[in-house]
Amino acid sequence: MSSIRQHPLGGGGHQLLDYLKRMQAENPAFFYAVQNDNDHSAGNIFWADATSRVNYSNFGDAIILDTTYKTNRYRMPFASFTGFNHHGLPVLFGCALILNEAESSYIWLFRTFLQAMSGHYPVSITTDFDPLIQVAVAQVLPPTRHRVSTGSIFRETRERLAHLWPSNPDFETDFRKCVNESETIDEFESYWPSLLEKYCVMDNEWLQSMYNARHHWVPVYLQDTFFGEISIMDKNECLNAFFDGYVNASTTIQLLVRQYEKAVLAWHERELKADYDTINTNPLLKTPSPMEKQAASLYTRKIFLKFQDEFIETMANPATKIEDSGTITTYRVAKFGEKTKSQIVTFNSFEMKASCSCLMFEYSGTICRHILSVFRAKNVLRLPSQYVLKRWTRNAKAGGFSDEHASEFPSSSGDSVTVRYNNLRQEAIRYVEEGAKSIQIYHVAMKALNEAVKKVAAVKSQSIGTAGGDTVSNGERDELIAADEDVHSYQSAEEKQKKIRELTAELETTNQRCEVYRANLLAVLRDMEEQKMNLSVKVQNARLSLKE
């Protein structure tokens, strides 16, 4: 029987539900769900706004479930699904209140999350240490690689081995070093028994259980899977970056909505600034290489700077050929003066593919200095397309679900009406965002939308006689009270036209919001120009003073 950790809902929960209902009424793409009271799980709530769902379609290949806010000093039973956008910034996919922590609650949560995201599985998920979560992930997300954050492992170890600290103050430092600084599996396997023997904890049950589960949390065992982090050195000890500073020990459920909106707005503004910096500032190129110039034109500014660091390091990390079998060539790449540390790169000249033993590309989606060094040796002047992940480019938000991992995202729901409805809705939201960018695009979008209404009505009138009154029942109605209940009723042309009118109104509203953002951005730019002008005047005055 699974353990149950219960948290009171209180009056604040009803205020939250009222907020979610209002948001869904204002925007049909807003999703929320409430679990029923079976298995002692009354009141568990999940929600994802329209922007979060579009974010997932672009960056949902690697997700993080952060439940930090209900542990230790935090009293909030609050959880968030987040990831990283094309600037490497935290991006939100959805939120939940886990008021009753049971295995069934987390199973429901992951199933509901998948439903909200059109049944697309992530490539990887990172969570805090929790046996209940581990069981739920294995059951609901079988194709997804599950990683437990090292930060939660370190916290749990500190509590479990508290008796060890007074007499062995250096244990934690050595433990962290063993986990974080092992560069190969062999290094970790050699370091671990030495660590246990040094502190006489060879028979400790907790450490033995952690060793048995090492493939889920020790970084060196996870390098072959994409986790969306820019650097393989990001050990992900802290998961709560998105709401850090907004939700804390003093946050009540009544305050949650306000803090939630503040965090969403703050990160949205940071993304706008990153977009502006990428579009309007040219990074300084450090070489005449056409590959560096190509990367600068493709990547967002932050990702390009990461690429540039690796590219420059190729000058200090030469590639030495150690085997040549025709099409496949093997190289050893090492830094000048370092004989013990090196990486092995195999290069297929026919397919223009390279693989490196450091696995940085597999883990982060950014190419490593070792492969770049081999490209340099083979006179490869431009990045092969397979080494430019769309999710890290300026064009990351164009199109649908991340193309690079499309084969790794099976759908949990097949071709159901719910999936078709959610897919169409996400495309409509993206259409709205694009259509509101300028008045010219707005008029083109409206014209296309009106033509689409006529075409949909024509097709519907042709097929209505043979459709047989097809309807879909909500098979999860006993478990789910979802904001998408109306997904079953869009059967007539009249209702489709009504939905399109709603989307048209949403388009106009979004256009107004964009105008506000544009005005605010222009005001910021004017301030920047004034500051630059003032600074220029000061510089000129200073120069005149020096001449005098």
Q: From 238, 271, 300, give the residue that closes a domain.
A: 238
> What is the mean predicted confidence (pLDDT) over 278-282?
90
234, 184: one domain: yes
Q: From 339, 367, 392, give the residue that closes a domain.
A: 392
199, 87: one domain: no
| Domain-embedded: residue 86 | yes
Which of 97-106, 164-173, 474-483, 532-541 comes out lowest in average pLDDT?
474-483
Question: What pTM, to 2 d.p., does this model score?
Answer: 0.74
Spatial CB neighbours of 31, under 8 Å, sequence gap ≥ 6: 24, 47, 48, 49, 53, 94, 116, 482, 483, 484
225, 322: one domain: no
Structure tokens at 538: 């000061």
Structure tokens at 138: 């294995």
pLDDT the model gives residue 94: 96
pLDDT the model gives residue 129: 93
Number of domains observed in the structure of the chain:
3
Looking at residue 11, its amino acid is G
pLDDT the model gives residue 337: 82
| Domain-embedded: residue 373 | yes
pLDDT the model gives residue 12: 61
pLDDT the model gives residue 192: 97
User: How far is 436 from 510, CA to CA, in rounded Å?
Assistant: 6
Confidence band, pLDDT 50/70/90 cuts, at residue 415 = very low
Largest separation between any pair of C-alpha atoms in the chain: 93
The residue ranges of DSSP E strands in 304-449, in sequence order, are 319-324, 328-333, 343-348, 353-356
142, 251: one domain: yes
pLDDT digits (tens, 9 = 90+) for 79-88: 999 999 999 9
329, 211: one domain: no
- pLDDT for residue 40 is more than 80: no
User: How far is 382 from 323, CA to CA, in rounded Å?
Assistant: 24
| Domain-embedded: residue 381 | yes
- pLDDT for residue 434 is more than 90: no
Q: Is residue 43 within 8 Å of residue 34, measured between CB atoms? A: yes
Per the model's pLDDT, the better-predicted residue between 505 and 178 turns out to be: 178
Instruction: Name the strands in the sheet holding 328-333, side by side, starting at the edge strand that comes first in the sequence.
Output: 319-324, 328-333, 343-348, 353-356
376, 251: one domain: no
Number of residues that make up the chain: 548
207, 196: one domain: yes
pLDDT digits (tens, 9 = 90+) for 341-374: 899 999 999 999 999 999 999 999 999 999 999 9
- pLDDT for residue 411 is more than 60: no
37, 104: one domain: yes
218, 69: one domain: no
Which residue range(s) make up the domain with 155?
Answer: 150-238
- pLDDT for residue 477 is more than 50: no
| Domain-embedded: residue 188 | yes
| Domain-embedded: residue 448 | no
Q: From 203, 238, 273, give the residue that closes a domain.
A: 238
| Domain-embedded: residue 265 | yes
CA-CA-CA-CA dihedral for 317, 318, 324, 326, to nearest 10 = 100
- pLDDT for residue 32 is more than 50: yes
77, 173: one domain: no
Of 63, 67, 60, 78, nearest to 118 (Cα)? 60
| Domain-embedded: residue 433 | no
129, 263: one domain: yes
- pLDDT for residue 471 is more than 50: no
| Domain-embedded: residue 82 | yes
User: How far is 492 from 388, CA to CA, in rounded Å?
Assistant: 44
- pLDDT for residue 478 is more than 50: no
26, 160: one domain: no
Classify residue 121 by its DSSP letter: P
pLDDT the model gives residue 232: 46
pLDDT digits (tens, 9 = 90+) for 209-249: 999 999 999 999 999 999 998 754 455 555 657 888 888 76
